[in-house]
Structure 1
Amino acid sequence: MKKVPYRHRISKIFELSLVVFLLLSTPLIAQEDAAPQEAEAVADAGAAAGGDVAKGKQLFNQNCAACHALNRKMTGPALANVETRLAEEEGLDKEWLYAWIKNSAGMIASGDAYANKIYAEYNQAAMTAFPTLSNQDIDDILAYTAAPPPAPVTPAGTAAATGAPAESSGISNELILGALAVVFGLLVIMLFLVNKTLRRIAEANGVDLEREKAEKGMPIWKAFAKNQFLVLVTSIFLILAAGYYAYGWMMQIGVDQGYAPIQPIHYSHKIHAGDNKIECKYCHSSARVSKHSGIPSLNVCMNCHKSIYEYKGNPEGPSAEDIANGYTNEFYTGEIKKLYKAVGWDEENQRYTGDSEPVEWVRIHNLPDFAYFNHSQHVTVAGVECQTCHGPVEEMEIMYQYSPLTMGWCIDCHRETNVNVADNAYYEKIHAELSKKYGVEQLTAAQMGGLECGKCHY
């Protein structure tokens, strides 16, 4: 049999690749050996603190992790080294922690200064009491919060850069990348030699490779269809993209922010509320006493337009933008004539003819039927300005929905808005009681019950 030198070369390359792999795996084994030593160091630190770190971690996850983290604020404060911090900053000992964890509400009611400080800082919500935890359980939790975090594995290159001695075997990132580059290069050489060997075997057996057909290749779509991995990845990507856009589209259902329909009679809030300073509640008078702000009846318009039969314009003259949009004096005068026709007003004889036509106004702001909103509660009782929800209406030529009017938007407002209780008899009694309960001078709408489901959904 004729000797094929390529087999010998390929076997040598495989042996070299195996050696490189074993060299790379050595530091990983050293890191695994170091892990038990780190665990022992943490356990020793917990024992020095008077508790079992392992038990403390279990108790922490069962009782504390829902509201606390070690190194960042959540519902409650961060708890890393909490015992040491309270002793140094507040002068509080472990006995205070025992009492606080077992009965936080009692500590607040007793007038304890730091207990009330925490209570006020974290949304006036008393921490859940844990009377079933023993002092030893709390010691274990405190030991866990005081235990140092696991030390990161320091590569040899990092130790040399900082001047610290390298106590454990390691490998630098540059060496790892170099080794990977060598392995990649060896694989390329192997593929090249295998391809060359297979071609020689094919030629020796009289196989015509038809180089012209190979160079022509197959269409891209056919090559894609035959590659099952690409088909799978593309399908997953398309499904995720479709889900993302479908979710975004569904989340916008019922959200009509920016909606600005054309009305049958043009009404300029810019002229009425802006230039002429007409108060919103003059036209929308029911907002003071009713759930709805109401659409003004046409007789409210006629209170002024009996004598204002043409628009003479702003003393400064129309702006270039208004002229470009067709908002001229003649346009506004024509809209006044539409009003006269709708109410049946005989301009020449200054009387109503009785021949009126209904105006089909297009509603702009429309909450779902399951959401309750009372204008009088906000406008009259709370003193909320119309612009808070409806935006700068005095600047709107065409009225549009300024706010999203979503549930999240309402909740954020209730959480951030202080209730105006000054000279407001409606709140005198309830404010006195709630201010004592929460220990604050200014109450938010949320503290007044503004987050209760039944307030808006009935």
Structure 2
Amino acid sequence: MKQVNHRKLGKNILRLSLIILLAFSTSLSAQEGDPVNGKSLFNANCAACHQLDKKMTGPALRNVEQRLAEAEGLDREWLSSWIRNSSAMVKAGDPYANKIFNEYGGAAMTAYPQLSDQDISDILAYTAEEVPAAPAGVQIADAGQSSGSDGASMSNKVILGALAVLFALLAMALILVRQTLNRFAEAKGVDISETKGTPIWKAFIQNQFLVLVSVVVLLLASGYFVFGYFMQVGVDQGYQPVQPIHFSHKIHAGDNGIDCKYCHSSARVSKTSGIPSLNVCMNCHKSVYEVAPETATAEYSKEFYDGEIKKLYAAVGWDDADQKYTGDTQPVKWVRIHNLPDFAYFNHSQHVSVAGIECQTCHGPVEEMEIMYQHSSLTMGWCINCHRDTNVKVEDNAYYTKIHEELSKKYGVDKLTAAQMGGLECGKCHY
């Protein structure tokens, strides 16, 4: 009986040892977070308020676990509780939780109860990574680019120099040929002295037919150029002013895919598209304080773009170091690009919301423009041609349901252009 008990006891001890070993190994694996998955979780949950090396809405999180352990004696259990429900810790009177809460203006951190222990370990593993060194070879690449540009300019100088030498040689050859011909003429006794005749201008004046034809041609050419000049009055196609703060539509609308109507929100409901307020810019740039290195080009460096963001901060009175507004604002005097005459009526909401026309139809490939410019002429003829050629979007469009039925019977067509719906009437745009 005792032997049986000893056997059972031995088995139980073995099972208990295995369970403890398994739990210990599980805890160890949980402690070893995956920084790759942690980066993904950090960007999805934390990046709106935190950066690794810069104070934002919340503190910088590089080596946060180590720093809290050394400075405050707080362990991962405290961090997990804070991440899952910081408000509860503040209400419970936790000293450090209240210190952080008050230090950052009483802004409550979003609770993340859905994050598992492993998720938190992964995030902390990502925050514990060392600061990546600047990629070697950047300066080499820049040097290569500059040398390439220098080489191109050097080759252009060589070509221009060669052309100049060639023309000089040709001129010298012509002079030598003339001198040689003069010597031959003198040797043959040929008189090459120039005979004076009637000046060409006097002969021209004496010929009345040539004078009449010249006057007619001159009047026609002058009328053509004067008409062309007056037709361009008020037409600013290609106008590309320099703005007080450089704004790259290529980066915002192109690389980042921001919808035009996010910034120009009034285009959906108003006559004008509106100039977005700087608060709209700060919705993103409160957190985006620098551009990605790959955004820089040979013409516009990263330092240039970062400097323009600092201009934005100065305009809105944003203290990036303390993450708060100072109240010291400066107006930004944007230069208007698209400007229709006052006697012409144009409604953005009619075209954007009702007709469903894309912004690029009138404004061109905005997503490719580093500096915004007027792409279309915006003349009366340009608008009329568009009304004649563009079929109105009437399918599933309640705005046109009744008028489409009536006009379809009138014209006997399934599709209608804006011109057929009265788009050429003077009173539509001039009233």
Q: TM-score, normalised by structure 1?
A: 0.51
1:336 is aligned to: 309
* Alpha-carbon distance, 1:223 to partner: 2.4
| 1:372-403 Cα shifts (integer Å, max 9, x gaps) | 00000000011111011001100000111111
Which position in structure 2 is the counterpart of 1:386? 359
Correspondences of 1:265-304 after superposition (within 5 Å): 265-304=245-284
Q: Secondary structure at the match of 1:216?
A: coil
SS at structure 1 position matched to 2:293: coil
| CA apart distance, 1:214 | 11
CA deviations on 1:72-118 (whole Å, 9 max, x unpaired) are: xxxxxxxxxxxxxxxxxxxxxxxxxxxxxxxxxxxxxxxxxxxxxxx
User: Is 1:400 aligned to 2:400, yes or no?
Assistant: no
2:390 paired residue among 407, 412, 417 = 417
**1:255 paired residue number:** 235
For residue 222 of structure 1, the aligned residue among 202, 208, 213 is 202
* 2:424 is equivalent to residue 451 of structure 1: yes
What CA distance in whole angstroms lies between the structure 2 residues aligned with 1:235 and 1:381?
55
Q: CA deviation at 1:222?
A: 2.5
The CA deviation at 1:221 is 2.1
CA distance in 1, matches of 2:332, 2:350: 29
Deviations 1:14-35 (A, max 9, x none): xxxxxxxxxxxxxxxxxxxxxx
Residue 244 (str. 1) matches residue 224 (str. 2): yes
SS of residue matched to 1:342: helix
Could you tell me which residue of structure 2 aligns to residue 187 of structure 1? none
Indicate the residue corresponding to 2:409 in structure 1.
436
CA RMSD of aligned residues (A): 1.8
User: Alignment partner of 1:366: what SS?
Assistant: coil
Residue 214 to residue 281, structure 1, CA distance change in 2 (3 Å) = closer
Cα separation, 2, equivalents of 1:343 and 1:255:
34
Deviation at 1:215? 4.0
Name 2:213's counterpart in structure 1: 233
Amino acid at match of 1:300: V
Q: What is the rounded CA distance, in whole Å, between the counterparts of 2:261 and 2:407 in structure 1?
A: 31
Task: Give the distance between the partners of 1:241 and 1:445, measured in 2 at CA.
Answer: 38
Partner amino acid, structure 2, of 1:425 = A
For 1:357, the equivalent position in structure 2 comes to 330
Q: Partner letter of residue 209 of structure 2?
A: F
Q: Equivalent residues in 2 for 1:16-27 (5 A)?
A: none
Q: 1:369 aligns to what? A: 342
Aligned to 2:244: 264
In structure 2, the gaps of 5 or more residues are 1-192
Deviation at 1:299, TM superposition (A): 0.6
2:399 partner amino acid: Y
Q: Distance in 2 between matches of 1:422 and 1:403?
A: 28
Output one character per residue of 1:401-445: Cα deviation in whole Å (capped at 9) or x when no partner.
111111111111111111111221111111122112222111111
1:305 maps to 285
- Distance in 2 between the 1:231 and 1:437 partners? 59
Cα deviation code 1:193-237 (max 9, x no counterpart) = xxxxxxxxxxxxxxxxxxxx9941122223223333322222222
Which residues of 2 match residues 18-57 of structure 1 at below 5 A?
A: none
Letter of the 1:219 counterpart = P
Report the residue type matching 2:331 in the other structure.
P
Distance in 1 (alpha carbons) for counterparts of 2:241 and 2:274: 17
Output the CA distance in 2 between the equivalents of 1:344 and 1:418.
48
Instruction: Tell which deviates more after alignment, 299-308 or 426-435.
Output: 426-435
Displacement, 1:451?
A: 1.0
1:229-258 superposed Cα distances (whole Å, 9 cap, x missing partner): 322222222121111111111111111111
Gaps of 5+ in 1: 1-212
Return the alpha-carbon distance in structure 2 between the equivalents of residues 427 and 242 of structure 1. 49
The separation in 1 between residues aligned to 2:345 and 2:419, in whole angstroms, is 16
TM-score (normalizing by structure 2): 0.54
**For the structure 1 residues 261 and 214, does the alpha-carbon distance in structure 2 shift closer, same or farther, using more than 3 Å as the test?**
closer
- In 2, Cα distance between the equivalents of 1:404 and 1:313? 36
Instruction: Look up the match of 1:91.
Output: none
1:260 CA drift (Å): 0.8
Structure 2 counterpart of 1:433, which letter?
A: E
After TM superposition, the structure 1 = structure 2 runs for residues 114-153 of structure 1, keeping only pairs within 5 Å, are: none
Q: Whole-Å Cα distance in 1 between the matches of residues 267 and 293 of structure 2?
A: 30
Distance 2:408 2:219 in 1: 52
